[in-house]
Structure 1
Amino acid sequence: MRAFLITGNPGSGKSTLAVHLRQRGVSAVDADDLALWEDASGTPVTPPADVDGAWQLAHRWVWNRARIEAAIAASGNPGGVTFVCGIAVNQHRMLDLFERVFLLTIDADAQDARLALATSPQRTDAVKRQIRDGRAGFQATMLAAGAVPLDATASPASLADTVLAMVDAPRER
């Protein structure tokens, strides 16, 4: 199984791109389905029913390595391609699972516009500020780690074409 990571800041289009890849018959896993919250000591926690921004700011969104590995293994045939689409605080510890990392880059104005559209009550102004403040540093870290930058303002169809061409992924007919 060939596995690729598509990552980017919140609002960069990771989930939308995953949908477009699946529509083309390619395995694309939304890593949000595999992530969990943990407290400052690293203990997994179950969020309360009424998660708010203060709770989110006091906890970390992380991936569980075994869950990511299992999702890759279960996603298709051994010679196929799987895209894992998402972001987590600890994703840097799992980059070795991926043949290549694609980074959806987004500038501050485009990210602000997309975050303004987010209607989730959990995306409080404080959470949006934390997301905006971390954008440049996250992108720089991923690029330094060898991620392939992709313009997140391109259409999802165009982005799907680009990543599929770059990995030469066979598609189901």
Structure 2
Amino acid sequence: MASILITGMSGSGKSTLIGELAARGLRAIDTDSDEWSEWSEDEEGSPDWVWRENQMRALLDRQRAGPLFVCGCKTNQGRFYDHFDHVVLLSAPLPVLLQRIAQRTGNPYGKSPEERALILEHVAVVEPLLRASADIELDSSVYSVDELADRLVALGSQEQAHRRL
């Protein structure tokens, strides 16, 4: 069955979208939790919130009855791209990202000046890398959460139909 990674910058709407997919009864995993991610050190010795590789491999290798939607943005996610049928970049213009981050209540990340500076750096440096490796880009400032979810469900259904051929 189809597996789809939803990635993007902070404030792009990944958690909201994965919540909508889960509310529809679909297998939808937000990897921004201790169950799926852990603190590590990058090459420079800085803290890095990465996927727990054994758990991710087990999740992606497991047989499924329907599509699997996974959301996250981790430095080691590229190691798993070959396990996904599609990599979807969820994006939005920088002012929209910053407004969403300032207004959200369920996630404290991005509230401090240091974190906001890091977000600006990630949009400039990381987002182009994500864009280059994504199969599809969806602008979450253009589509509603329902429309985004509909598009991803259709993408999962197309993959299922394709695999039956």
TM range (shorter): 0.7 to 0.9
| Deviation, structure 1 residue 97 | 1.4
Q: What is the TM-score with the length of structure 1 in the denominator?
A: 0.78
Percent identity reads 32
2:2 pairs with 1:14? no
The alpha-carbon deviation at position 73 of structure 1 amounts to 4.7
1:25-104 matches, within 5 Å, as 25-33=25-33, 34-40=36-42, 58-73=46-61, 78-104=64-90
Structure 1 residue 156 corresponds to structure 2 residue 145: yes
Please, which runs of 5 or more residues in structure 2 have no aligned partner?
Answer: 161-165
TM-score w.r.t. structure 2 length?
A: 0.82
User: What are the Cα deviations for residues 72-103 of structure 1, in whole angstroms up to 9, with x where unaligned?
Assistant: 356xx634210111111221222111011011
1:141 aligns with 2:129: yes
Call closer, same or farther: CA 1:96–1:121 in 2, change over 3 Å.
closer
Q: Secondary structure at the match of 1:165?
A: helix
Single out whichever of 63-72 and 148-157 deviates more from structure 2: 63-72
Structure 1 stretches of at least 4 aligned residues deviating more than 6 Å after TM superposition: none
- Partner residue of 1:115 out of 101, 119, 138: 101
Distance, in Å, in 1 between the alignment partners of 2:19 and 2:147 is 13
- Distance in 2 separating the partners of 1:160 and 1:3: 14
Count matched residues: 154
Equivalent-residue separation in structure 1 for 2:15 and 2:134 (angstroms) = 22
Return 10-19 or 111-120, whichever deviates more: 111-120
Return closer, same or farther for 1:168/1:87 CA change in 2, 3 Å cut-off.
same
